Amino acid sequence: MIKKKVYVYKGFERFWHWMQALLIFFLAFTGFEIHGSYTFFGYRDAVRYHNIAAYMFIVLIAFAIFWHFTTGEWRQYYPSFKNIAAQLNYYIFGIFKNAPHPTKKTVLSKLNPLQKLTYFGLKVVIIPTLVITGLLYMFYRYSNSGIIESLDISSLKLIATIHVIAAFFMVSFVITHIYLITTGEKVTTNLKAMLTGYEELEEPEDEANITLNTKLD
């Protein structure tokens, strides 16, 4: 196999990734302060900043959905169980034995089967749950003189509980994601790829020879 430098991650893709990461970190930080885990901004400001970041996150999601569907990149997340066992075995055992990666990354297939399932669940279940429960919480108004100003919800306890559980799932994903970033050929390989857009991908020798012969001609 011969490695070739390939433009894998487009400009908006990288912007979306880093802005999403920044907002998720900030939402988690302010969210857990609201939950009473610690004090930094103060409860009132933490709520205000959390709400602002939440709106920014929703706008980012809207742009990301538009970009994914207009470019066809949504297909990257279409789940598949093919080679899922081999991928699990690699992460549990093979990665510690320098075993070859069971899935070859290409521009048209950037994610391995386990990543596809994880991101699909994240985008279809976890993030929508966070957004919906968050909006329900934000637009709930306590009654004033017996009048419900907004959503008529008898209790926020269940909504808050679901929101917090989804937040813990998101934090768990982020921690795992950060760890897996370091499992490239070098510790900084995957990080560099998401910063520059370029990544060295393996190219079959026959294709490499064709490319070389074409250049020589």
CATH number, domain with residue 142: 1.20.950.20
Residues 6 or more apart whose CB falls under 8 angstroms from that of 170 comprise 24, 28, 122, 126, 127, 130
Which residues are 41's β-sheet partners?
Answer: none
What's the pLDDT at 210?
A: 39
Which string of b and e fits 68-93 if b means at least 16 CB within 10 Å?
Answer: beeeebeebbebeeeebeebeebeee
What's the pLDDT at 213?
A: 44
What's the pLDDT at 150?
A: 52
Number of domains in the chain: 1
The phi-psi region of residue 142 (left if phi > 0; otherwise alpha if psi is between -120 and 50; otherwise beta) is beta
Residues 6 or more apart whose CB falls under 8 angstroms from that of 199 comprise 5, 6, 8, 9, 105, 189, 193
What is the pTM (predicted TM-score) of this model? 0.82
Structural domain for 99, as ranges: 2-216
What's the pLDDT at 91?
A: 86
pLDDT tens, residue by residue, 184-202:
778 888 899 999 999 988 7
Q: Would you give per-residue pLDDT tens digits along the chain (217 residues)?
A: 677 889 999 999 999 999 999 999 999 999 999 988 999 999 999 999 999 999 999 999 999 999 999 999 999 998 888 888 888 888 888 888 888 888 888 888 899 999 999 999 999 999 999 999 999 888 775 545 555 455 555 667 888 899 999 999 999 999 999 988 888 778 888 899 999 999 988 765 544 443 434 444 4
